[in-house]
Amino acid sequence: MIVTLIVACEVGFWILLAGGLGLRYLARMPRAGAAVLLLEPLLEVVLLIVTAIDLRNGAEASTKHGIAAVYIGFSVGLGHSTIKWVDQRVAHRFAGGPPPVKPPRYGRARAVHEWRTAGKWILAASVALALLQAAIWYVGGSGDTSSLRGWQSSMLMLIGINVVIALSYTLWPKRAPSSSDGSRV
């Protein structure tokens, strides 16, 4: 049941996103579109409640419960930026909006961009870690929580990878290519 609900939440996310942006740009109803987009967090609340009920009813903590926590974490950390990313492209394509802003390619600006991106991923992983820990405490000593602990290890590794990537752009910033006359492009 949990896996089906996770898939339903993901499908629901994209349906709400398409519906909200369709109302905003195609039907020219920006407030109705925003209202539909604001319904998206309810999917995660439903998933959280159903997962807690499943554990409360004696289900053994398993990979599916870990996936639910990770999915909610990623929705919290990356959901807004995903919606913003799609919104910019739909606005440009269907409503004459400006072209989407591309991330900086070089120097300090790129390092700042990478730290912001890492921050979103770290937030996502941290929320997942907190939910996984809450599930471990909820189950208590009466059940096997090794799969949830495995997900926690994966989230810690994800945080580490994002810090290393952002740090690499800080310590070794990519430089703009030089033009043939010796000046930077």
Residue 178, in any domain of the structure: no
Taking a C-beta distance cutoff of 8 angstroms, is the pair 178, 127 a contact?
A: no
Handedness of CA 145, 147, 148, 153 (dihedral sign): positive
pLDDT at position 47 is 93
Q: Name the β-bridge partners of 178.
A: 184
Residue 18, in any domain of the structure: yes
Q: What is the pTM of this model?
A: 0.88
Residue 177, in any domain of the structure: no
| 185 has a pLDDT exceeding 70 | no
Phi, psi of 49 (to 5 degrees): -65, -45
Domain that holds residue 151: 2-171
Amino acid at 92: H
Residue 184, in any domain of the structure: no
Residue 88, in any domain of the structure: yes
Residue 9, in any domain of the structure: yes
pLDDT digits (tens, 9 = 90+) for 85-127: 999 999 999 999 999 999 999 999 999 999 999 999 999 999 9
Residue 183, in any domain of the structure: no
Domain count of the fold of the chain: 1
